[in-house]
Amino acid sequence: MAVSTGRLALLDSAEELIARRGIHGTSAREVIKAAGQRNNSAITYHFGSWHGLLDEIWSRHAPRINTERAALLDAAGLDGPPDLEQLVYAYVHPIATKLARDEPSYWARFNEQWLTTAPLEFLTVPEPGAVRADYYPSDESLGTLSSLLDRIADRLDLPVGDARRRVGLTVRFVIGSFATWERAHDVGDAPDLNEFEAEIMDLACAMLRSPRR
């Protein structure tokens, strides 16, 4: 089924504006104007609501990323349970692949924005209708990501609550770092993405392994 150009324009405009200004810094009217739409109800018409628009942005990217994560986990588990580096790689590498695939990329910045309103420990996917953040993404692939983050937490030599908080902090570091890379790339000042990914990997693993004080 073909997707209308108006619908695509709204998705593209919303993703970029939210990535640059934040969920609360972007209005529906601005998205509609940037998309070249004249109908002030265009978002409601195409997506049902503002939240529906955000979910559609998430769903146009996340399933492929989480499918790539699942494939990496399957490959890593062929010779036994994956170690921490393999689990972190399964989380980090598909993000870097996504940034390399898109020109320009706003995905890390979009994630950075919704994480600003998420609780500190956000690994548990909330029940439908539960209030956990101003926006919490939803799609069937989210279970892959949640399971991966749980497995990373299980590898840490920390009490359960501390381990889950540590993973949440590390995710914020990873997403924030890639969001900064996207901004630098916009102005032609980004480091080599492969080298940047390797550095993020090293730092993320070090953060996760840092002993409890």
| Proportion of the chain in helix, strand, coil states, percent, rounded to 5 | 65, 0, 35
Domain, as residue range, for 29: 5-57
Does one domain contain both 160 and 194?
Answer: yes
3-state DSSP call for residue 115?
helix
What is the predicted pLDDT for the residue at 2?
Answer: 46
What is the predicted pLDDT for the residue at 1?
Answer: 38
Asked if 209 and 84 count as a contact pair (C-beta separation under 8 A), the reply is yes
The pLDDT tens digits for 46-87 are 999 998 999 999 999 999 999 999 999 999 988 889 999 999
H helices present in 35-159, as ranges: 42-47, 50-59, 62-76, 84-101, 107-115, 142-154
Does one domain contain both 53 and 141?
Answer: no
Residue 115 has pLDDT above 90, yes or no: no
Does one domain contain both 48 and 72?
Answer: no
The least confident of 28-42, 97-111, 138-152 is 138-152
Does one domain contain both 80 and 27?
Answer: no
Find the CATH number of the domain harbouring 46: 1.10.10.60
The mean predicted confidence, pLDDT, of the chain is 90
Question: Which of 36, 57, 78 corresponds to the end of one domain?
Answer: 57
Asked if 33 and 54 count as a contact pair (C-beta separation under 8 A), the reply is no
The residue ranking higher by pLDDT, 213 or 88, is: 88
